């Protein structure tokens, strides 16, 4: 079984501080996130049927809730679990989570150019691993360990 990295206080601090820095540019970040996602996982494009401008706002504000809950894992798991179960209705599969993580890191890195470094990237990787493992575990109980 793949072991999940434990988040340290430094991981949480780096992710929250970098998210705050990115926040004024969240529209650009969301634009780049979806553009990148549809480039690396073209089959995911057809799953998005609603208005993309509203979708981008919802994605960023939910990401803000998750990032803000990193020091409260019980709350984070509750939000992430419900979100993932809702996602099964959109046709999302467990294997979609990896390209979404790559697109997320890529777009954050683009927006945070001067602040982005190996430590910040590794902390974001750990955070996305924790969130996506929880989402996959909650929504696809037969899938096995993420
Ligand atoms: C951290 C991970 C994720 C977050 C924070 C997130 C956030 C959201 C939110 C807030 C919504 C709107 C839900 C609503 O209106 O009730 C949504 C919808 C959706 N998400 Fe995600 N999501 C994540 C992962 C994924 C993944 C892995 C996929 C796979 C491609 C995905 C595809 C979709 C689709 C297809 C919709 C519905 C779009 C539509 O209505 O047109 N999401 N997501």
Q: Would the CB of 82 count as within 6 Å of ligand 1?
A: no
CA angle 63, 127, 76 (to 5 degrees): 55
Q: What pLDDT, on the 0 to 100 scale, is given for residue 3?
A: 56
CA pair distance 87, 74, nearest whole angstrom: 20
CATH class, domain 9-141, is: mainly alpha
Decide: helix, strand or coil at residue 134. helix
61-100 pLDDT per residue, tens:
999 999 999 999 999 999 999 999 999 999 999 999 999 9
Residue 2, pLDDT above cutoff 60: no
75 CA distance to ligand 1 middle (Å): 19
The residue nearest atom 26 of ligand 1, judged by CA position, is 97
Q: How far is the CA of 11 from the centre of ligand 1 (A)?
A: 24
Buried b (16+ CB within 10 A) or exposed e, 103-114: bbbbbbbbbbee
Q: Encoding tokens for residue 19?
A: 């998210």
The reply to whether ligand 1 has any atom less than 6 angstroms from the CB of 134 is: no
């Amino acid at each position: 079984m793949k072991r999940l990295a434990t988040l340290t206080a430094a991981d949480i601090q780096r992710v929250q501080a970098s998210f705050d820095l990115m926040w004024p540019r969240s529209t650009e970040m969301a634009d780049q996130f979806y553009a990148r996602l549809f480039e690396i996982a073209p089959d995911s494009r057809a799953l998005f049927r609603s208005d993309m401008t509203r979708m981008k706002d919802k994605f960023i504000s939910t990401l803000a809730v998750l990032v803000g809950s990193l020091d409260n894992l019980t709350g984070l798991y509750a939000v992430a679990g419900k979100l993932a179960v809702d996602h099964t209705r959109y046709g999302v599969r467990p294997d979609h989570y990896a390209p979404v993580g790559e697109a997320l890191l890529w777009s954050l890195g683009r927006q945070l150019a001067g602040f982005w470094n190996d430590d910040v990237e590794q902390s974001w990787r750990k955070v996305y691993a924790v969130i996506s493992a929880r989402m996959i575990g909650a929504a696809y109980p037969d899938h096995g360990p993420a």
